[in-house]
Amino acid sequence: MPDQLLYAMEVTVNGLMAGVLYSLVALGFVLIFKSSGIFNYAQGVFALFAALTLVGIQNGQVPFAHLINSIFGTNIHKFGWHVPSVLAIILTIGVMVLLAILVERYILRHLVNQPDIILFMATIGLAYFLEGFGDIMWGSDLKKLDVNLPQGISETIETTTFNWFGYGFFVDKLDIVATVIAVILVTGLTLFSQYTKQGRALRAVADDHQAALSVGISLRYIWVLVWSIAGFVALVAGMMWGAKSGVQFSLSLIALKALPVLMLGGFTSIPGAIVGGLIIGVGEKLFEFSIGPMIGGATENWFAYVLALLFLVFRPQGLFGEKIIERV
Amino acid sequence: MKLKLASMVLAGVMAAVPAMADLVYPSLSYRTGPYAVNGIPFADGYADYFTLINERDGGIGGVPIKMIECETGYNTEKGVECYEATKGQGALIYQPLSTGITYQLIPKASADGIPVHSMGYGRTSAANGKIFEWIFNYPANYWNGASIAINHILDINGGDIAGKSVALVYHNSAYGKEPIRTLEELSKKHGYKLTTIAVDHPGQEQKSQWLQIRREKPDYVLMWGWGVMNPVAIQEAVNIRYPMENFIGIWWSGSENDVIPAGAGANGYKALAFHGVGNDYPLYGDLQKYVVDAGKAAGAGDQLGTVLYNRGLYAAMLAVEATKKAQAIHGVAQVTPAMVRDGMEALEITEASMAALGLPNFGPEISVTCENHGGAGDGAVTQWDAGAQKWNLISDFGPSDMDVIGKLIAGDSAAYAAENKISERCN
């Protein structure tokens, strides 16, 4: 097999894996948009905040230490214990649920029936507030995420592909873990929305707020539920991306990778987020591989949006989005 | 009523303008945003050195230092706003810690008559003092860095790298592109093959770039990165099992923040440096006593000796030494920005003077002149020891190839002078 074809195959596999990581971020956007029509600008910051909280809890860091020390003249930074990863993850999920309750109580509840743009603006405010709050709570220093996620080249895949093609493919073990987690998440979310009472209520709210309210579904409860799930998805995304770069404030920028996925997959479809992520991942990687060297490289950021725009022109609601019907 | 009004106006003016007895150094810092991880230790080191000079020495020449910190978020527009907001308060030197902000400040500061010191960043050709009267970039610039990296590769290959391949992984910005021209010129001289690989901001995803490196197997990889790009690149290099001792970053890709996320895999990674590493210097005893233990540290006091803290401290030390020189030249303690510029232009940092400051062997010797605002352009190589979690200097502060770099600086600064109708000085 020609070398270039083998390389293209390797790039495609890695594009699919990268796409899964993009999808993990996009999923959080979809969940909230689907149930409430809100484009949650703060989703990237949610991932950052979740990862910061996870590392902070794990390392026994005293929250608001800088503030406490400034006010009381103390010098405390650590509790002196190390929380096991699983327990730290459970506690972080608790914090994200609490955050969802606070968002509903102090923001969403006051904005019911407001135009979508107002809700969008509120999430911009939430994003900047949460970024500053996370800074004060956990500090801006770099934190190493250590939840025992495997990383590095998969020797099994490398050896197998070498035996087949005479060239060993590179696949990161972290990407394989991310893929497995994404499959579990999507399956779980699909089963949840199809076969549970809360899931059906969620779909009812997504279809028609007024009708759902008229049959006794609590809008507030559904919003807390959805924002909690989105917080959990943000934690998963934050863990996966944080394992690559450490937990630092640039983690919130991963939201940029989710936008073309949403444009392509649609804002209301969970499978759309996955398929959109895969298409964007493969598309941008293959473009960088084949055309990138001719035009100076670094094409991935903008090409992802070009690809999404192309889809948007032919299918404005996205690949799996609900068809837009306006009555006249 | 008139008296009350006049008192209020006077009080307002006094609050806005520092007492004339202060020496004012603005700190354009970034403690928030995506680059805060790197901005915080630098800002802490910068502030702590000034605090030390105030607490231990009572200021410079008896005049207390006032540092005004302004948050830029590593955003060029905010950086310019900070400059405009602080320049009227008696600012003596600006050290913007951002190439983008430096480029914007070059014409402004030149017009306002305030010196800018972009140490190891900014516009490289500002080393030509005949054109850039108010801008300084000693002790080294990006082009020196590119040459020092190639010199190191030459050293470990017995002086012959003809036929070797070198890849440059760079931040796709004006900063990241800075070394390309120098590396191209050096490749003509030494016969190595250069490949350039761009990474888009912020650099969180670099799979394509490292797959390319895995396919092409360059003998050496150089990196011009900043922020999250650095740890991701080092992690990806670990993932593809690239030999870390052949991976060399510029000084902005060589802090603890860049290597710690990759854990043990980052062991052996190299980075350039223009100042010392660690805290094994006599000065740190004073810092602990007068600043940290006294509760006057800018941060938690846990960054002392880290690479970027040391860099901030070094920047402040050079500002203080230039001010002392200005005081000596002009015979006054309360110096102006123009006098400090004179001090910078006559700055001599020798091994003896560094030892006297409690920083023996901390940096290269520096000699600034009217013509040369960049110093000798010396630099060293450091290597990360993941087991001990520390950087080690593995070379002396050695020279860069000024035969090549000098011509590039002359060409670029001449173009700037023609564009901006600037006549040569120092004649």
Mean pLDDT in residue range B322-345: 98
Q: How confident is the model at residue B18 (pLDDT cuts 50, 70, 90)?
A: very low
DSSP conformation class of B22: P
By CA distance, what is A288's nearest residue in B?
A: B208
Check: CB of residue B45 under 8 Å from CB of residue B312.
yes
**Looking at the domain assignment, is residue B197 inside a domain?**
yes
Distance CA A56, CA A148 (A): 16
| pLDDT given at position B19 | 47
pLDDT band at B288 (very low <50, low <70, confident <90, very high): very high
pLDDT at A313 over 60: yes
Look at chain B and report how many structural domains it folds into. Answer: 2
Cα B346 off chain centre by: 20
More confidently predicted of B19 and B143: B143
**Domains in chain A, please, with CATH?**
3-314 (1.10.3470)
A68-111 confidence digits (pLDDT tens) = 988 888 888 889 889 999 999 999 999 999 999 999 999 988 98
What's the confidence (pLDDT) of residue B16?
A: 46
Q: Which pLDDT belongs to residue A325? A: 65
A141 touches chain B (CB under 8 A): yes
Tokens of B287: 């810092």
- Is the domain of B303 the same as that of B332? yes
Q: How confident is the model at residue A139 (pLDDT cuts 50, 70, 90)?
A: confident
CB contact under 8 Å between B36 and A292, yes or no, is no
| A322 and chain B in contact, CB less than 8 A | no
Interface test with B, best of A142, A165, A169, A175 (most B CBs within 10 A): A142
Within a domain: B131: yes
Q: Is the peptide bond before A115 cis (omega within 30 degrees of 0)?
A: no
Domain assignment of residue B114, yes or no: yes
The pLDDT score that the predictor gives to residue B17 is 46
Is the CB of B208 less than 8 angstroms away from the CB of A289?
A: yes
The pLDDT-based confidence of B5 (bands split at 50, 70, 90) is low
- On whether residue B340 sits in a domain, the answer given is yes
Chain B partners within 8 Å of A170 (Cβ): 211, 214, 239-240
Q: Are residues B175 and B126 in the same domain?
A: no
A37 in reach of chain B (CB within 8 A):
no
Residue B8 placed within a domain: no
Which of A21, A78, A244 is best to mutate for the B interface (most B CBs within 10 A)? A244
Q: Which amino acid is at B390?
A: K
Residue B211 and residue A14: Cβ atoms within 8 Å?
A: yes
The packing angle between helices A270-290 and A173-195, to 10°, is 150
- Separation CA B160–CA B156 (nearest Å): 9
Last-in-domain residue among B216, B251, B273: B273
Span A223-246, mean pLDDT?
92
Interval B167-211: pLDDT, tens: 999 999 888 999 999 999 999 999 999 999 999 988 988 999 999
Which letter does DSSP use for residue B292 in this model? I
| Residue % of chain A over a pLDDT of 90 | 56
**pLDDT digits over B144-162, tens only?**
999 999 999 999 999 999 9
pLDDT digits (tens, 9 = 90+) for A211-224: 888 888 888 899 89
Asked if residue B316 and residue B213 are part of one domain, the reply reads no
DSSP string for B160-215:
--TT-EEEEEEESSHHHHHHHHHHHHHHHHH--EEEEEEE-TT-S--HHHHHHHHH
Give the pLDDT confidence score for residue A297 in this predicted structure: 87
- Among A202-211, B6-15, B380-389, B407-416, which stretch is predicted with the lowest mean pLDDT? B6-15
The number of residues making up chain B comes to 427
The string of pLDDT tens digits covering residues B229-275 is: 999 999 999 999 999 999 999 999 999 999 999 999 999 999 999 99
Q: Examine the domain organization and report whether B134 and B165 are in the same domain.
A: no
CB-based contacts of B12, cutoff 8 Å, min separation 6: none
Please write down the long-range contacts of B133-137, taking CB distance under 8 Å and 24 or more positions apart.
B133/B341, B133/B425, B134/B109, B134/B110, B134/B341, B135/B102, B135/B106, B135/B109, B135/B110, B135/B373, B136/B344, B136/B345, B136/B368, B136/B373, B136/B374, B137/B373, B137/B374
Q: How many CB pairs under 8 A join A and B?
A: 117
Contacts of B196 in chain A (CB under 8 A): 297
Q: Tell me, yes or no, whether B386 lies in a domain.
A: no
Q: Taking all residues of chain A, what is their mean pLDDT, rounded to a whole number?
A: 90
**CB–CB of B211 and A10 under 8 A?**
yes
Nearest CA-CA partner of B149 in B253, B235, B305: B253
CB burial of residue B8 (10 Å; 0-12, 13-18, 19+): exposed
Nearest to A241 among B40, B172, B204 (CB): B204
Q: What is the pLDDT of residues A158-200, one digit of tens each?
A: 999 999 999 999 999 999 999 999 899 988 988 888 899 988 8
Please determine, for residue B388, whether its predicted confidence score (pLDDT) is greater than 60.
yes
Domain boundary (B231, B248, B273) is at B273
Smallest CA–CA distance, residue A138 to chain B, in Å, is 13
Please answer yes or no on whether A298 and B40 come within 8 Å at the CB atom.
Answer: no
- B159 and B107 assigned to the same domain: no
Residues B292, B256: one domain? Answer: no
Contact yes or no for B36 and A288 at CB 8 A:
no
The CATH number for B47's domain is 3.40.50.2300
* Residue A322 pLDDT grade (very low, low, confident, very high; cuts 50, 70, 90): low
pLDDT band of residue A328 (cuts 50, 70, 90) is: low
pLDDT band at A36 (very low <50, low <70, confident <90, very high): confident
Task: Name the β-bridge partners of B384.
Answer: B391
Predicted pLDDT of residue B247: 98
The answer to whether residues B259 and B299 belong to one domain is no
Condensed to tens digits (0 to 9), the pLDDT of residues B68-89 reads: 999 999 999 999 999 999 999 9
Does residue B135 belong to any structural domain of this protein?
A: yes
Question: Do A227 and A36 contact (CB within 8 A), yes or no?
Answer: no
CB contacts of A11 in chain B (<8 Å) are 208, 211
Whether the per-residue pLDDT at A257 is higher than 90: the answer is: no
Token reading at B301: 């006091």
Residue B304: is its pLDDT beyond 90?
yes
Q: Are residues B259 and B332 in the same domain?
A: no
Q: What is the pLDDT of residue A210?
A: 80
**Based on the domain organization, do B165 and B234 belong to the same domain?**
yes
Q: Is residue B393 part of a domain?
A: no
Same domain, B124 and B249: no
User: What value of ipTM does the predicted structure carry?
Assistant: 0.89
Q: Does A66 touch chain B (CB under 8 A)?
A: yes
- B108 and B237 both lie in a single domain: no
Give backbone dihedrals phi and psi of A148, rounded to 5 degrees, phi first.
60, 35
User: Which range of residues forms the domain containing residue B146?
Assistant: 142-273
How far, in Å, CA of A285 to CA of A297, rounded?
A: 11
Nearest Cβ partner of A245 from B35, B228, B263?
A: B228
Q: Are residues B83 and B147 in the same domain?
A: no
- On chain B, the residues whose CB falls within 8 A of the CB of A292 are 208
Cβ neighbours around A203 below 10 Å, total: 15
